[in-house]
Amino acid sequence: MISNQLKLILFIVLITLNIGVTPSDLLAQGMRMTPTSANDIWPKTMDSANYNEYWNYQMYFDNGMSLYIIFSVSDFGRLKSSVSGIRVSMYGLDENAYHINREYPIEDLHLGKADFDFDINPRQDNIWFKGKLPESHEIYINTQKHGHRFKIHLNLSNIQPGFMPNNGEYMIDDHRVGMATHIPYARVTGTTGINDDVREVKGVAYMDHTWQYQNSSKKLQSGYRFIKHIDAANWETIYFMEADVKQGRPYIGYRLSSKNGKVRMDEIAAVGNSNPKDIESATYTINFADQEYVTLTSHKIQDRTSIFADLNWFTKNIMKTVLGGEIMDTRGTTTFNVTGNPPQIGYFNQFSLK
């Protein structure tokens, strides 16, 4: 008869052999740090109703450009037909910020299990990502709106394995919400641009995955990401959301970080915001379950826009009804402070209901 303690030791050894983390990396403050599998990238909510699911990429290039891409699937119940979609924001090509939203019937969505192909417009084969993580990943977008043709073709390499807390899902009252980080760090190369101004780029990339069942998006008030990439063995990521709860903690999320190749996950216990009305003068204090904390200060805004800005009037009002209001997306840089280490400047992304 194998004791429970021996079973735990065997389990930790097996995970360690599989993904190369040490036993101390596996558990953090009672939260199990679960490796994501290649199949975890697939949609999880489409068998339900009133769902929203997002694959959020953030890429920072050595030439000063940055690129944000969100693939999505959404169901609006009786208000509107289900759709898949893409939202792209591009910065640094010139003095302008470029945004585009596209939607396609959910029936058009192609999920190619053989090559992990997620293609939202297979008839033109012009908006997709594919590749079995963490071995490979490729993104292709070639679409236009308002006279701007977005031309993006990127390949990711040196992809660090992804993780999620426990099974990835949290309960907010009686609503389920899921979060996973598929790509905490990767190198990225390829081409990015608008119309005839297409540049060769190289830099770093990040991607997380959020899924929401049965109108659970109405329980979410705001969210925040922080990303700092130094190299493949040293990086910081934080992702949390603020929820409207009747009981329990109002924040869900985690810090996923690597120091000299040692990966750890910290459960977020509480978040303080010194000035919710003005992020540029705000200090975020993020407390973890083990009593450690970090602060995020000196926010500098690069762009603030409504995620509905490029949608038609009908779709915009449907989205406001489903999500509980207009969502403002704010991006820029911030300073990350943790006791015992020098301050680090990284990138933040805040989204909040207006």
Point out the least confidently predicted range of 29-38, 179-188, 334-343.
29-38
- Structure tokens, 87: 């939202």
Long-range contacts of 129-137 (CB under 8 A, 24+ apart): 129/55, 129/71, 131/156, 132/38, 133/36, 133/38, 133/41, 133/159, 133/162, 133/182, 133/183, 134/159, 134/160, 134/161, 134/162, 134/183, 135/38, 135/159, 137/183, 137/186
Whether 22 has a pLDDT exceeding 70, the answer reads: no
Name which of 61, 138, 72 is nearest 101 in CA terms: 72
Q: What is the pLDDT of residue 291?
A: 78
Q: What is the pLDDT of residue 58?
A: 98
Higher pLDDT, 313 or 353: 353
Distance from C-alpha of 180 to C-alpha of 107, rounded to nearest angstrom: 25
Phi, psi of 5 (to 5 degrees): -65, -40
Whether 23 has a pLDDT exceeding 60, the answer reads: no
Q: What is the pLDDT of residue 153?
A: 98
Q: What is the pLDDT of residue 264?
A: 95
Phi, psi of 6 (to 5 degrees): -65, -40
Confirm if 197 and 190 have CB atoms less than 8 A apart.
Answer: no
* 317 band by pLDDT with thresholds 50, 70 and 90: low
Whether 202 has a pLDDT exceeding 50, the answer reads: yes
Residue 186: partners with Cβ closer than 8 Å, 6 or more residues away: 137, 156, 157, 158, 159, 160, 204, 205, 206
Whether 47 has a pLDDT exceeding 80, the answer reads: yes
Whether 13 has a pLDDT exceeding 90, the answer reads: no
Q: What is the pLDDT of residue 213?
A: 83
* CA distance readout (Å), 136 to 131, 139, 187, 336, 348: 5, 11, 11, 30, 26
Q: Which of 6-20, 103-117, 217-231, 282-296 has the highest mean pLDDT?
A: 103-117
Whether 313 has a pLDDT exceeding 90, the answer reads: no
Region label for 41, one of left (φ > 0), alpha (ψ between -120 and 50) or beta (otherwise): alpha
Q: What is the pLDDT of residue 312?
A: 63
Confirm if 205 and 183 have CB atoms less than 8 A apart.
Answer: yes
Higher pLDDT, 311 or 268: 268
Whether 183 has a pLDDT exceeding 50, the answer reads: yes
Name which of 228, 198, 209 is nearest 336 in CA terms: 228
- Structure tokens, 190: 């390829």
All domains of the chain in start order, with CATH: 31-353 (2.40.370.10)
- Structure tokens, 273: 């915001």
Higher pLDDT, 40 or 215: 40
Q: Tens digits of per-residue pLDDT, 252-265? A: 899 999 999 999 99
- Structure tokens, 319: 């989205």
Q: Tens digits of per-residue pLDDT, 122-175? A: 999 999 999 999 999 999 999 998 899 999 999 999 999 999 999 999 887 777
Distance from C-alpha of 223 to C-alpha of 273, rounded to nearest angstrom: 12
Average predicted confidence (pLDDT) for the chain: 86
Tokens 């907010």 found at: 172
* 17 band by pLDDT with thresholds 50, 70 and 90: very low
Distance from C-alpha of 257 to C-alpha of 262, rounded to nearest angstrom: 8
